[in-house]
Amino acid sequence: MVNKPAGLPTLPDGYHPEAPYLVGLLKQVYQPLWVIHRLDKETSGVMAFARNAAAHRNLNTQFEQRKASKVYHALVRGVPDWATMSVDLPLRPDGDRRHRTVVDAQRGKPALTDLRLMENLGDYALIEAAPHTGRTHQIRVHLAAQGYSLVGDRLYGKSAGLFLKDIHPGSLGPEGETAILSRLGLHAWSLLLSHPANAQPMHFNAPYPDDFASALSHLRHPGG
C-alpha cells in the first residue's frame, strides 16, 4: 500500500514523459510491481499495488467485480441539505470539447456513488464519497451534478483552490492571496480488499496530507 502525494501522476504524463511519476519511483525500490488502479494527479491517498502476477490477477478481479471498496473524502463548496445521497447517473468519458466526463443517459456507462455529509464547514462541506463503479472522474462529476464542485476543481467547477481571503474576507492584498489548498480537494481515505493469498479482509487508511489537513483546520477555526 502507498499513500500517494498530490501532484504526482500515477503513470507517465503523455505531455511530459520525463517528469517523475509514482510507478517509476516505486519501481526503483520495488521490482517487480503491477498497477491495479490509479488516482488522478491532484488526488492524494491510498493506492494498492501487486508484487507478483498471481496477486495482480486476483486484485484486478476484485476491482472488476466491485469486491474492493474505496472511500474518498471530498472538500466542496456549499453545504448539502441532505445527510446521505446515492447518485446514480451514467457517465461518458471525453464527452465534450474540454475532454470532460459527462452525464449521458443514452451513451453513458452505469455509475453509482454513495455520498454522506461528514461535516458542515460554513460555506464548505466535507463529504464522504464511496464509488461503486470506477468511471473516470466519477466523484467529481457526480458531485458537480448535485451542485457541489470540489475545492480546486478547475475542470468541473470554477475553483482555483482555497485561499485565506475565502475564509477571512478581510484578508486583502498579498496576504489574502495565500493559498491554503491549491489543488483538488479530494483524498482517497480508505481501501478495503481481500488478501490475494488467503482471502483475509484487509483495510487500509491514508492520513490526510498537510495541505488537506490545514484546509480543514482553517475552516473549522475561521477565527483562529
Question: How many Cβ atoms from other residues are within 10 Å of residue 111's Cβ?
Answer: 23
Question: How many Cβ atoms from other residues are within 10 Å of residue 142's Cβ?
Answer: 27
Contact 135, 109 (CB under 8 A): yes
- List the helix and strand counts (H, then E) for the chain: 6, 14
Residue 13 among the catalytic residues? no
Quote the DSSP letter at residue 209: P
Catalytic residue among 40, 153, 166, 211: 40
Catalytic annotation, residues:
40
